[in-house]
Chain A
């Protein structure tokens, strides 16, 4: 089907043909023709954010919670530059986004025109791919290709920069054509390598699955296959921050999250295993700690759709390039056909060793009757929201790690957090994107007050669209993680890690037209959380918590997995000057 239409109309038509139902955006001069077309239709819902960064994070929340690409529409110049943080965030966490930016007319490009920026130049390193479309005839093909590139292979953000004259001009529109693109990353893994992995799995005495965001990105089917494989083999499974929910937290082989603030049993299992099966994770530095002491005695297998992830930081013995879902299917098929063998006796011994580690109870903290401990707040939040159709987003810092430790995720796509880039200000707009996609769900943004202030303007969006997002702020009046590092690494010199002028969050909520709840006494916490859950509308929940609580366990900079700190008593003089240079 081909038709003549304006570039602006093509944009809207292509979005419809790609199955887009929601666009997050902010209008401006260079996208007015597209906004005109949006005005003239009802199929695509436009969510007006308050800042372009918010639009991108909201689209990320939408994408992570649905598995579909998120779509953003912003104007040229500042509209595009404000989107850069969100693009980088999506690139590092492999989130599919299609970002459309307006541009000054083609004949003015390069003249330092009003609101002109070299958008494709600026966003080249922070997108998977980008395009400047200078000819309306090429717009339809580029739009369809953008959706293909964003979602094929390792997902990521793409950007199309559309000059205003290209939006006004008329050209030929055509519907998406399957397989029109030369970009076709292979999804099937090499069967020889998969067989080698199965053979290793059959004889392993201390195996562990180390899973990541790739399992989530591969779709719900991949999580199902993972569960089947884990439960059939009895092999323990840990996950990165990005992969939480792929294997249920209530599953009997679940070790909890690994890494810098991961669980003791997970990190010890990683360190002592003899076979590590990395499924869709990337040996990030938050995971590995010191590389020369990372799981020294294991055979390592790595399943990743991106060949550049393999052997990037850790040399692996069995590399498998392919989509997690496809590879897991083949692993299961081959393992079953070879007789479903595992060294059950050794694995039982391994499991009992893990039980010993688990008995350390690494998440234990000193309870307090007078003040709310942040861990306690999250335990109560978990207990009171567990049965709900619940989605969690977070900001970045201590609260994020506590949320990962204390909240249990039973399903994929329920946990939205900024992992790779660590973007403070991610959670509020992301919660809005999630709530737009799941209007009836309970969407909670677990936040710290400092991160939350970074994109608090998006409360306006929540109120405008009646999105009942719950902003669960663990307020310690500090940049908690910065403060923790300053305590441990910088001689307790708390340089600029607290705010002396925080807003009254209850009044702030009221000013936005939302509900504010403030709680400081542990005895009142349950009632307050219930009030938040039961309120039909957006809530800012100001939970005043212990100000100097540190987040444990912690693998300090410069240490290996088996050198975790479990509590305050162990922190004295532990981190040497060499570790202080690290982030």
Chain B
């Protein structure tokens, strides 16, 4: 047997390496999925992400075609290029999925999110909150003598920026819808 010159013992990498030699650069992608609006379809998509260890940064879903019973799911995810490719291929494999589009690749695309933000404060802080809201084109949708609820639409980073500004001025609660997105042009 020794005549075979089979190397014994460890090689240059003694630990088992099951990790593929793919790029480890993390990319953020916005993916839209057109699905049949049937019971459990969201669970299929979410289960795929949790079961295979993919990330969901944001997810929105609603029926967009009432006659065809089709819903559009918009998912923002982060992963290596290889993982992003797998996510799309795995989504495409789900029987209820009609179409998978990676807007980040197919792009340019429009991305919008809605947030409602409760800011509690009095005096100068209240005035400042109002002034900043105007700069961000946020609308006041509810007010009391010591609180506002602002409604704001925009790309996620605009909402992040607004929330950051409002924090010292009394931001107490924020609710965000997650991203909805479509390709530009036709």
Contacts and interface: CB of A to CB of B under 8 A. Distances in A.
Nearest to A148: B95
A315 B19 CA distance: 12
B47 interface: yes
Interface in A91-107: none
Interface in A145-179: 149, 154
Interface in A277-319: 285, 290-293, 306-308, 310-315
Contacts of A499: none
Given A182-B98, A291-B21, A563-B6, 10 more contacts: A121-B40, A121-B43, A125-B47, A183-B95, A290-B17, A560-B11, A564-B6, A569-B1, A578-B14, A581-B16
Q: Which 9 A-B pairs have the closest CB atoms?
A: A578-B15, A308-B89, A558-B16, A129-B95, A576-B14, A307-B89, A576-B10, A582-B16, A308-B90
A29 B43 CA distance: 28
A285 B6 contact: no
A124 B92 contact: no
Nearest to A181: B95
8 contacts: A124-B44, A125-B51, A128-B95, A310-B89, A563-B6, A570-B8, A573-B9, A582-B18
A559 B15 CA distance: 9
B93 interface: yes
A569 B4 CA distance: 13
Contacts of B20: 291, 313-315
Interface in A106-152: 120-121, 124-125, 128-129, 132, 149
Nearest to A307: B89
Interface of B: 1, 4, 6-11, 13-22, 39-40, 43-44, 47, 51, 82, 85-86, 89-90, 92-96, 98
A50 B82 CA distance: 45
A557 B11 CA distance: 12
Which of B13, B16, B96, B98 has the most chain A CB atoms inside 10 A of its CB?
Answer: B16
A360 interface: yes
B24 to A, nearest CB: 14
A306 B94 CA distance: 11
Contacts of B89: 306-308, 310, 312
B12 to A, nearest CB: 9
A530 interface: no
Contacts of B8: 570, 573-574
Contacts of A576: 9-10, 14-15
B13 A290 contact: yes
Given A124-B47, A125-B51, A578 B9 contact: no
B93 A306 contact: yes
A312 B90 CA distance: 10
Instruction: Indicate the size class of the contact surface on chain A.
Output: 35 or more
Contacts of A582: 16, 18
A468 B95 CA distance: 39
A562 interface: yes
A311 B89 CA distance: 10
A517 B39 CA distance: 53
B124 to A, nearest CB: 53
B23 to A, nearest CB: 10
B17 A124 contact: no
A19 interface: no
B7 A558 contact: no
A169 to B, nearest CB: 19
Contacts of A569: 1
Nearest to A558: B16
A565 B7 CA distance: 10
A579 interface: yes
Contacts of B85: 311
Contacts of A539: none
Contact of A566 (B4, B17, B92): B4
Contact of A574 (B9, B43, B98): B9
B17 A291 contact: yes
A567 interface: yes
A292 B21 contact: yes
A546 to B, nearest CB: 20
Contacts of A566: 1, 4, 6
A14 to B, nearest CB: 18
A573 B8 CA distance: 9
Nearest to B96: A129
Contact of B92 (A129, A308, A312, A558): A308
B90 A563 contact: no
A563 B7 contact: yes
Contact of B40 (A120, A285, A313, A564): A120
A579 B96 CA distance: 40
